[in-house]
Amino acid sequence: MKQVASLYSELVESGKAASIRRYNLRKLCRSFDLPPCGVSFWELDDLNWDYLQTLNRSLVHERFVFRGGEHFPRSYWDDRVLGLDRRTEFIFLLTTGGNQHRARRAFFAHNFSDSERIFGTPKSPSPREDGDRLTTQFHHGLLMDLIHFSAHRAHLGALADFYLALALLTLTPTPAEMTRDGIFDSFKQNFPDYRADITRIKTATDLESKLDDILYLMGKLDG
Amino acid sequence: MDRYYLGKLVDDINTAASQLAEAALKPHLRTLCALDRRVVSGERHFKVLRYLLAVDHACPVQKLLRLRPAFENLCRRFSGPDFDCVCHFGHDAPVQPEGSDLTVLLHFYMLHAGRDDDWNRHLCAVLLDDPETQTSLLPPWTGFGEGLRRDQLEDEILSFCQHYLSGNFDSLIPIRDFEAAFWRVVNLACTYHGADDWDALVDLLPIRFRERLKPLPDNWNALREAERSFSQEAFVQCSRQSIRFCQQLMELEATP
- Among the partner-chain residues A68, A100, A216, the one whose CB lies closest to the CB of B154 is A100
Q: What is the pLDDT of residue A205?
A: 94
B196-205 burial code (b ≥16 CB/10 A, e <16): eebeebbebb
Q: Classify the C-alpha dihedral B121-B124-B129-B131 as positive or negative.
A: negative
Q: Where does the pLDDT of residue B98 fall: very low under 50, low under 70, confident under 90, or very high at 90 and above?
A: low
Q: How far is B234 from chain A (nearest CA, A)?
A: 15
Closest by CA to A125, choosing from A106, A144, A145, A153, is A106
**CB contact set of B55 (below 8 Å; sequence gap of 6+):** A143, B25, B28, B29, B30, B64, B110, B113
DSSP code of residue B141: G
Closest by CA to B53, choosing from B73, B34, B36, B74, is B34
Phi (first) and psi of residue B13, to 5 degrees: -65, -45
Q: How far is A96 from chain B (nearest CA, A)?
A: 12
Q: Does A204 touch chain B (CB under 8 A)?
A: no
Please return the burial class of A89, using the count of CB atoms within 10 Å of its CB with bins 0-12, 13-18 and 19+: buried
CB atoms under 10 Å from CB of B227, counted, come to 15
Q: Where does the pLDDT of residue A85 fall: very low under 50, low under 70, confident under 90, or very high at 90 and above?
A: confident
* ipTM higher than threshold 0.90: yes
Q: What is the arithmetic mean of pLDDT over B217-221? A: 89
Is A210 or B97 the better-scoring residue by pLDDT? A210
Q: Where does the pLDDT of residue B66 fall: very low under 50, low under 70, confident under 90, or very high at 90 and above?
A: very high
CA–CA separation, A22 vs A112, rounded Å? 10
Given a cut of 70, whether residue B63 has pLDDT beyond it is: yes
Which residue type sits at A73?
P
Q: How far is A121 from chain B (nearest CA, A)?
A: 20
Q: What is the pLDDT of residue A18?
A: 95
Please judge whether A52 and B164 are an interchain contact, meaning their C-beta atoms are less than 8 angstroms apart. yes
In this structure, of A155-159, A174-178, A185-189, the range with the lowest mean pLDDT score is A174-178
Please judge whether A150 and B64 are an interchain contact, meaning their C-beta atoms are less than 8 angstroms apart. yes
- Among the partner-chain residues B61, B90, B165, the one whose CB lies closest to the CB of A148 is B90
Q: What is the pLDDT of residue B97?
A: 57
Q: What is the pLDDT of residue A132?
A: 62
CA–CA separation, A148 vs A142, rounded Å? 9
**Helix (H/G/I), strand (E/B), else coil: B29:** strand
Please judge whether B68 and A150 are an interchain contact, meaning their C-beta atoms are less than 8 angstroms apart. yes
CA–CA separation, B91 vs A145, rounded Å? 10
- A216: nearest CA partner in chain B: B57
Given a cut of 70, whether residue A1 has pLDDT beyond it is: no
pLDDT, tens digit, 9 for 90 and up, residues A89-145: 999 999 998 889 999 999 999 999 999 999 999 998 888 876 568 999 999 999 999
Q: A89 and A64 in contact (C-beta within 8 Å)?
A: yes
Between the alpha carbon of residue A173 and those of residues A178, B146, B244, the distances in Å are 11, 33, 42
- Measure CA of the first residue to CA of the last residue in chain B; give whole Å: 45
Average model confidence (pLDDT) for chain B?
Answer: 88
Please judge whether A68 and B61 are an interchain contact, meaning their C-beta atoms are less than 8 angstroms apart. no
Is B2 or A12 the better-scoring residue by pLDDT? A12
Residues in chain B within 8 Å Cβ distance of A99: 151, 154
Residues in chain A within 8 Å Cβ distance of B117: 136
pLDDT, tens digit, 9 for 90 and up, residues B162-203: 999 998 887 777 888 888 899 999 999 999 999 999 999 999
Please judge whether A48 and B244 are an interchain contact, meaning their C-beta atoms are less than 8 angstroms apart. yes
Residues in chain A within 8 Å Cβ distance of B151: 99-100, 102
Whether the pTM exceeds 0.80: the reply is yes
pLDDT, tens digit, 9 for 90 and up, residues B131-171: 888 888 899 999 888 889 999 999 999 999 999 999 888 77
- B92: nearest CA partner in chain A: A71
Q: What is the arithmetic mean of pLDDT over B213-228? A: 83
Q: What is the pLDDT of residue B46?
A: 73
Residues in chain A within 8 Å Cβ distance of B61: 146, 208, 211-212, 215
DSSP A139-171: HHHHHHHHHHTTT-HHHHHHHHHHHHHHHHHTT
Share of chain A above pLDDT 90, in %: 82
Please judge whether A56 and B155 are an interchain contact, meaning their C-beta atoms are less than 8 angstroms apart. no
Q: How far is A210 from chain B (nearest CA, A)?
A: 10
Rg of chain A over all Cα atoms, to the nearest angstrom: 18
Residues in chain B within 8 Å Cβ distance of A55: 165
Please judge whether A212 and B61 are an interchain contact, meaning their C-beta atoms are less than 8 angstroms apart. yes
Closest by CA to A166, choosing from A72, A83, A90, is A72
Q: Does A114 touch chain B (CB under 8 A)?
A: no
Given a cut of 70, whether residue B227 has pLDDT beyond it is: no
The total number of residues written for chain B in this structure? 256
- B151: nearest CA partner in chain A: A100
Given a cut of 70, whether residue B99 has pLDDT beyond it is: no
- Among the partner-chain residues B119, B240, B250, the one whose CB lies closest to the CB of A140 is B119
Given a cut of 60, whether residue B14 has pLDDT beyond it is: yes
Given a cut of 90, whether residue A199 has pLDDT beyond it is: yes
- Tell me the Ramachandran region of residue A205: left when phi exceeds 0, alpha when psi lies from -120 to 50, beta otherwise: alpha
- Is the bond leading into B206 cis (omega within 30 degrees of zero)? no
Torsion (CA) B184, B186, B189, B190 in degrees, nearest 10: -120
Q: What is the 3-state secondary structure (H, E, C) of B171-221?
A: CHHHHHHHHHHHHHHHHHHHHHHCCCCHHHHHCCCCHHHHHHHCCHHHHHH
- A93: nearest CA partner in chain B: B158
Strands (E), chain A: 19-24, 37-44, 64-68, 87-95, 117-120
CA–CA separation, B112 vs B53, rounded Å? 9
- Measure CA of the first residue to CA of the last residue in chain A; give whole Å: 46
Q: How far is A113 from chain B (nearest CA, A)?
A: 22
Given a cut of 80, whether residue B39 has pLDDT beyond it is: no
Interface of A with B in 117-156 (CB under 8 A): 133, 136-137, 140-141, 143-148, 150-151, 156
Given a cut of 60, whether residue A164 has pLDDT beyond it is: yes
CA–CA separation, B175 vs B168, rounded Å? 9
Q: B49 and B88 in contact (C-beta within 8 Å)?
A: no
Share of chain B above pLDDT 90, in %: 57
Given a cut of 60, whether residue B44 has pLDDT beyond it is: no
